[in-house]
Amino acid sequence: MAVGGLALVVVGLFYLFGRKSQGLKNLGFLLGIGVIGVSRWVFPNVYTIDECGKVTAEFLILPTSTHYGNTMTYGSHCYLINNTDTELWVETALYGNKTAENSADEIITEAVSPKSDQKFDVISLDYFFEDPRSIRTRSRNVKEDGIVQYTVRCAE
């Protein structure tokens, strides 16, 4: 949300100060799109679980320490903070031509202990407290290349 707001401010300033110059307006638009595009790989997602079934998703804007003593930094990864008394599981769902054999480096099956946090080397986690949906695609590239998605659930 904050990154989108920053992009809107950039675009707005270029429109305000570049009223007579179409080139300046175009530059502002491109910079705004660039901020949004780059933010996905620079500012990691931080998912906070306070109780099973409830997740809060945010961007990390400034490096910080968690309540559990770990440091969160920039990069193309995400963080899961488990504030519950229950163990959480992060698992992988494979679609298309993705298999366990050809996607071994992308597969995650890890537990996150209660009252702890963990860094995952993926940009985002896709499903929280629900089964991954069936994906039907019309794109031939997606079917051939496959998709990897990640789900978070409470241990039973």
Q: Give the pLDDT confidence score for residue 102 in this predicted structure.
A: 80
Do both 85 and 140 map to the same domain? yes
Q: In what order do the strands lie in the sheet with 54-59?
A: 54-59, 45-51, 78-82, 116-120
Q: Give the pLDDT confidence score for residue 58 in this predicted structure.
A: 92
Do both 36 and 79 map to the same domain? no
Do both 136 and 96 map to the same domain? yes
Do both 36 and 52 map to the same domain? no
- Residue 119 CB burial class (10 angstroms; 0-12, 13-18, ≥19): middle
pLDDT in tens, 73-114: 988 899 999 999 999 999 998 877 777 788 878 888 899 999
On average, the pLDDT of the chain sits at 81
Do both 11 and 86 map to the same domain? no
Number of domains in the chain: 2
**Domain of residue 18, residue span:** 2-41
Contact 109, 131 (CB under 8 A): no
Do both 65 and 24 map to the same domain? no
The better pLDDT of the pair 14, 62 is held by 62
Contact 40, 26 (CB under 8 A): no
Do both 78 and 29 map to the same domain? no
Instruction: List the structure tokens of 117.
Output: 């946090």
Do both 67 and 128 map to the same domain? yes
Pairing of strands 54-59, 64-65: unpaired
Q: In what order do the strands lie in the sheet with 88-95?
A: 109-112, 88-95, 147-154, 127-128
Do both 63 and 87 map to the same domain? yes
pLDDT in tens, 24-37: 666 766 776 666 66
Instruction: List the structure tokens of 118.
Output: 């963990």
The better pLDDT of the pair 114, 147 is held by 114
Do both 80 and 24 map to the same domain? no
Do both 37 and 55 map to the same domain? no
Q: Give the pLDDT confidence score for residue 135 in this predicted structure.
A: 66
Do both 35 and 60 map to the same domain? no
